């Protein structure tokens, strides 16, 4: 009798865990679908921009390749990726590009904290 009760509790616990996992899986699938849609939209936009640049301004594939290489190397590594280094605003805690001397959200000087104001 006690063993049966224990088993029923274990089964209920396992079912609850499976339900949670299934729900998480649905959430991940939805997120992947949204990311794929955004990537597709970005690819479409990039193709449209490229078509306009080449048709209207005569920009060549070589120009594009050179600019891709230049931007890729801007973080010091030719690795097909762009990494943007960030600072954290000492006043509002938002992420900032290292290029900015002032926080674009609150206007604080980049690198300064409230302690220094
Ligand atoms: Zn700020």
CA distance 39 to 64: 20
The environment of the single-atom ion ligand 1, i.e. residues with CB closer than 5 A, is 89, 91-92, 103, 105-106, 108
- Would you write out the chain's pLDDT as a tens digit for each of its 117 residues? 889 999 999 999 999 999 999 999 999 999 999 999 999 999 999 999 999 999 999 999 999 999 999 999 988 889 998 877 788 888 999 988 877 888 989 999 876 444 333
pLDDT at 115: 38
Measured in Å, residue 84 CA sits from the centre of ligand 1 at 18
pLDDT at 114: 40
Q: Specify the DSSP class assigned to residue 101.
A: S
Provide the residue ranges of all domains of the chain, joining segments of one domain with +. 2-83, 85-117
CA 20 to chain CA centroid, Å, is 26
The whole-model pTM stands at 0.56
């Amino acid at each position: 009798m006690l063993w049966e009760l224990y088993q029923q509790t274990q089964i209920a616990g396992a079912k609850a865990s499976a339900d949670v996992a299934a729900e998480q899986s649905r959430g991940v699938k939805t997120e992947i679908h949204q990311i794929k849609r955004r990537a597709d939209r970005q690819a479409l936009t990039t193709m449209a921009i490229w078509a306009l640049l080449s048709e209207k301004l005569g920009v060549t594939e070589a120009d594009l390749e050179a600019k891709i290489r230049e931007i890729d190397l801007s973080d010091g590594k030719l690795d097909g990726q762009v990494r943007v280094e960030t600072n954290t605003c000492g006043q509002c805690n938002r992420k900032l590009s290292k290029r900015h001397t002032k926080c674009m959200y609150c206007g604080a000087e980049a690198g300064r904290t409230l302690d220094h104001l």
